[in-house]
């Protein structure tokens, strides 16, 4: 719910990220009924509205809410399993398919929501599963448990419901029925996704939504299959795409690289302006041309494992006019949901690739983490910047730390030096969710306790 009363966030360095690259050294923002109505110079409005709540942001920077364009539900309760990359991915897939229950998905959603809230991420786009394309899409109850927990936190989320990679059927274990196994087919997953989309489209006052996904297929992988395997891949991908279009949902994919965009567009007829493609490493000229022609957006994930194995040409995509946002691809054994760390990694990823620290600048990176993510999701008219008429998703970052002083060059301080622990206040839809580092919609201790209990039970069931 939004708060109808006026709130004034004042006495701040305001960085609107509105495309002008303007900085208000001493500015204020007035919020009414969840909407930004004033962005202006001056510590406080004159005269100060008598009915307004005053939030003093002395010594802090006020920015739009951060947007994490690519991450994974479930990983919050599996990131500490460790091990090598291949072993961890295989274990995660087994956990999701065979050893997780409703309490697991609820606890993971709460844990990740708490981490995002404490780090200033107001909107996230998690895949509902991971590992080797293991999606928990056989029963709406799992996604509904996850989404109910996120909705209660007050944050925004677009949950990506996906189908698994053929062949079918897949094994799933239902701990609500004593751990009995069932065989899950493509039709089961499609029906589940459609049910969740129908129930949760623009839910919780528009803060919650659902997207559709299908596995990424390369030309080489497709060619390696026999005709039956190729038909199975084509049928599943096209079915997911058709569901996305029929329901008016976004189509989001995880793992594009080296020709896969152009191949899938040509072979399966995919992609439009509602498509968001994650990772995008080692793209070919045909890939970028396809994305431009079809209006796709990209999720740049510089902290991900794919960024170790290949290069994402984010500057070139931006220069081509593509919408590009940032994603953590977290959490995982080697990365958190801290988008400030991801912003720093975006700079290093490009600087190392080109052997040039000026390959990408701090402003561009901050824009990708805010207005770029909103634009990628088709939400640029309502989110992503601090402008009158937009929803009041705001983050206050305290600069009262040795690592952030002296206080000149605030954009560079945010991108190169700040971290999630510097966030002091978070507002979503005009409602304060974090004040002075204290969550207002979540009991942090209880969230951690439930996460610990779910983690222990999962390990016991998995024999870990």
Sign of the four-CA dihedral 153, 118, 368, 163: negative
Q: List residues bridging with 251 in a β-sheet.
A: 212, 275
Sign of the four-CA dihedral 351, 357, 360, 365: positive
Query: What DSSP assignment string belongs to 175-214?
Result: GGGTTEEEEE-HHHHHHHHHHHHHHHTTHHHHTEEEEEE-
Confidence (pLDDT) at 176? 84
* CATH number attached to the domain at 6-64+386-439: 2.30.40.10
Confidence (pLDDT) at 261? 98
Confidence (pLDDT) at 82? 75
pLDDT tier at 185, thresholds 50, 70, 90: very high
pLDDT per position as a tens digit, 319-340: 999 999 999 999 999 999 999 9
Confidence (pLDDT) at 370? 98
**Residue of 254, 331, 329, 255 whose CA lies nearest to 82:** 331
Q: Are residues 437 and 424 in contact, defined by beta-carbon separation less than 8 angstroms?
A: yes
**CA-CA distance, 171 to 169, in Å (whole number)?**
7
Q: Are residues 196 and 144 in contact, defined by beta-carbon separation less than 8 angstroms?
A: yes
Question: Is the pLDDT score of 373 beyond 70?
Answer: yes
Predicted TM-score (pTM) of the model is 0.97
- What's the length of the chain? 464
**What does the block give as tokens for 267?**
């072979």
Q: Are residues 112 and 450 in contact, defined by beta-carbon separation less than 8 angstroms?
A: no
pLDDT per position as a tens digit, 115-128: 999 999 999 999 99
Q: How far is CA 261 from CA 21, 243, 320, 443, in A?
A: 32, 19, 16, 43
pLDDT per position as a tens digit, 357-369: 999 999 999 999 9
**What does the block give as tokens for 352?**
């190392």
Domain ranges of the chain: 6-64+386-439, 66-376
As a whole number, mean pLDDT of residues 186-190 equals 97
Q: Do domains 6-64+386-439 and 66-376 have the same CATH topology?
A: no
Q: How far is CA 430 from CA 33, 36, 299, 342, 425, in A?
A: 6, 8, 27, 26, 12
Confidence (pLDDT) at 232? 96
Confidence (pLDDT) at 2? 43
Does CATH place domain 66-376 in 3.20.20.140?
Answer: yes
Q: How far is CA 331 from CA 3, 98, 112, in A?
A: 31, 20, 8
Q: List residues bridging with 39 in a β-sheet.
A: 29
As a whole number, mean pLDDT of residues 291-317 equals 96
Helices 186-200 and 227-247 cross at an angle (nearest 10°) of 10
95: DSSP letter: I
- DSSP three-state, residue 9: strand
Question: Is the pLDDT score of 62 beyond 50?
Answer: yes
Confidence (pLDDT) at 246? 96
Confidence (pLDDT) at 331? 95
The greatest distance separating any two alpha carbons of the chain, rounded to the nearest whole angstrom, comes to 74
Q: How far is CA 130 from the centre of its chain?
A: 14
Give percent above pLDDT 70 in the chain.
Answer: 99
Question: Is the pLDDT score of 37 beyond 70?
Answer: yes
Question: Is the pLDDT score of 83 beyond 90?
Answer: no
**CA-CA distance, 376 to 383, in Å (whole number)?**
11
**CA-CA distance, 33 to 430, in Å (whole number)?**
6
Confidence (pLDDT) at 1? 39
pLDDT tier at 132, thresholds 50, 70, 90: low
Confidence (pLDDT) at 86? 79
pLDDT per position as a tens digit, 235-247: 999 999 999 999 9
Q: Are residues 217 and 265 in contact, defined by beta-carbon separation less than 8 angstroms?
A: no
* Mean pLDDT score across all residues of the chain: 95
Question: Is the pLDDT score of 413 beyond 60?
Answer: yes
pLDDT per position as a tens digit, 9-36: 999 999 999 999 999 999 999 999 999 9
**Residue of 145, 159, 130, 147 whose CA lies nearest to 68:** 159
Confidence (pLDDT) at 8? 98
Give percent above pLDDT 90 in the chain.
Answer: 93
**What does the block give as tokens for 144?**
């509904």
**CA-CA distance, 401 to 139, in Å (whole number)?**
47
Confidence (pLDDT) at 48? 94
Buried b (16+ CB within 10 A) or exposed e, 47-60: eebeebeebebebb
**What does the block give as tokens for 210?**
């659902």
């Amino acid at each position: 719910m939004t708060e109808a009363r006026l709130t004034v966030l004042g006495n701040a360095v305001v960085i609107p990220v509105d495309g002008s690259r303007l900085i208000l050294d001493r500015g204020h923002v007035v919020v009414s009924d969840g909407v930004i109505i004033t962005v202006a110079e001056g510590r406080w409005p004159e005269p100060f509205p008598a009915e307004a709540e005053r939030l003093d942001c002395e010594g802090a920077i006020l920015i739009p809410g951060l947007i994490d364009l690519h991450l994974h539900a479930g990983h919050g309760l599996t990131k500490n399993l460790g091990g090598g990359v291949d072993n961890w991915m295989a274990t995660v897939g087994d956990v999701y398919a065979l050893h997780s229950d409703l309490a697991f998905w609820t606890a993971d959603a709460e844990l990740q929501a708490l981490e995002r809230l404490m780090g200033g991420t107001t909107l996230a786009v998690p895949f509902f599963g991971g590992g080797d394309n293991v999606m928990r899409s056989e029963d709406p109850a799992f996604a509904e448990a996850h989404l109910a927990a996120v909705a209660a936190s007050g944050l925004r989320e677009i949950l990506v419901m996906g189908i698994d990679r053929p062949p079918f059927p897949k094994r799933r274990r239902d701990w609500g029925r004593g751990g009995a196994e069932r065989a899950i087919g493509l039709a089961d997953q499609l029906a589940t996704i459609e049910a969740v989309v129908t129930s949760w489209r623009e839910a919780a006052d528009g803060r919650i939504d659902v997207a559709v996904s299908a596995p990424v297929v390369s030309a080489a992988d497709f060619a390696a299959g026999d005709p039956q395997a190729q038909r199975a891949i084509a049928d599943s991908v096209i079915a997911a795409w058709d569901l996305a279009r029929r329901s008016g949902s976004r189509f989001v994919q995880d793992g594009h690289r080296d020709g896969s965009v152009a191949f899938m567009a040509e072979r399966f007829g995919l992609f439009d302006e509602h498509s968001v493609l994650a990772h995008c490493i080692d793209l070919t000229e045909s890939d970028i041309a396809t994305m431009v022609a079809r209006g796709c957006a990209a999720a740049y994930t510089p902290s991900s494992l794919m960024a170790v194995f290949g290069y994402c040409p984010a500057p070139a995509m931006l220069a081509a006019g593509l919408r590009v946002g940032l994603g953590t691809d977290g959490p995982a054994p080697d990365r958190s949901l801290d988008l400030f760390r991801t912003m720093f990694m975006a700079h290093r990823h490009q600087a190392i690739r080109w052997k040039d620290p000026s390959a990408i600048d701090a402003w561009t990176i901050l824009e990708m983490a805010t207005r770029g993510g909103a634009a990628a999701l088709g939400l640029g008219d309502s989110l992503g910047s601090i402008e009158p008429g937009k929803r009041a998703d705001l983050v206050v970052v305290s600069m009262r730390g040795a690592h952030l002083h002296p206080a000149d060059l605030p954009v560079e301080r945010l991108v190169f030096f700040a971290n999630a622990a510097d966030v002091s206040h978070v507002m979503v839809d005009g409602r304060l969710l974090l004040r002075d580092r204290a969550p207002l919609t979540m009991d942090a201790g209880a969230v951690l306790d439930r996460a610990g209990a779910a983690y222990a039970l999962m390990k016991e069931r998995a024999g870990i």
